[in-house]
Amino acid sequence: MGQQVRRDSLQKRFSQLAVGIDTLRADSLKKVQALKDTLSKVINPTPKVKHSPRKAAMYSLAVPSLGQAYNKQYWKMPFVYAGFGTVIYFIRYFNIRYKDYLTPYIASFNPTTGAALRTEAPVYIRSQQITRTLTIDQITKGKDFYRRYRDLNIIMLTAVWALNVVEANVSAHLKTFDMSEDISFRVQPDAGYTAFTGGIIGAKIVIPIK
């Protein structure tokens, strides 16, 4: 009877000891992991927010040169505005002269039947700042000439806008693209736990493959 009690007591103590070892091991693992996380934050701080080429393109699509500002390439903004300003100037230039020819052209025909009401009409020539009498054929050619170049500049405006978007997108890609040929490495903290040595703190070398 006494031996049975002693055996039960020893088993109870061994069980308590095993539980204590497991608890100690779990606590050690938690401490090691916490230390590893702390070292990682110190050595490898939180990376910056990645530069987004999509945002750069959308900004330039909404407002010309805003994508260049997002890329912090402020020196490109005057070139964007110069391109837009030049094209808009010529659109206005050709459109005003187109209307100078369009007005007498419309007045020279019957709006109902389309029959010609006259063979000549006065047209204001802006380059000479005078009014000259031109034939309907001359007025038609002048009207078509200025309309064609006005429309070409409208197409050019669309092309400049698209180029502004593409440039912002490509520049944003280049800002995030690693063009170096060097094989770099970085030291990263490491920690682990074994039954023989307990918690181990060390470091490891990481070589990124690009």
Q: pLDDT at position 113, please?
A: 87
| Distance (Å, whole) CA 156 – CA 169 | 20
- HSE-up (13 A, CA, CB side) for residue 75: 0
Q: pLDDT at position 13, please?
A: 58
Q: Is 196 within the bounds of a domain?
A: yes
pLDDT at residue 206 is higher than 80 = no
* Domain co-membership, 100 together with 191: no
24-67 confidence digits (pLDDT tens): 455 655 665 665 666 566 555 555 667 889 999 999 999 999 99
pTM (two decimals): 0.62
Q: Is 12 within the bounds of a domain?
A: no
- Do 165 and 57 meet the contact criterion of CB atoms below 8 Å apart? yes
- Do 157 and 91 meet the contact criterion of CB atoms below 8 Å apart? yes
pLDDT at residue 152 is higher than 90 = yes
Q: pLDDT at position 67, please?
A: 94
Q: Is 14 within the bounds of a domain?
A: no
* Domain co-membership, 38 together with 63: no
Q: pLDDT at position 79, please?
A: 95
Q: pLDDT at position 123, please?
A: 94
Q: Is 3 within the bounds of a domain?
A: no
Q: Is 13 within the bounds of a domain?
A: no
Per the structure, how many domains does the chain have?
2
Q: pLDDT at position 78, please?
A: 95
Instruction: Give every CB contact of residue 68 below 8 A, 6+ residues apart in sequence.
Output: 56, 60, 74, 76, 77, 80, 164, 167, 168, 171
Higher pLDDT among residues 125 and 3, named by residue: 125
Which domain range does residue 95 map to?
A: 51-175
Please, what is the average pLDDT of the chain?
Answer: 79
* Domain co-membership, 71 together with 139: yes
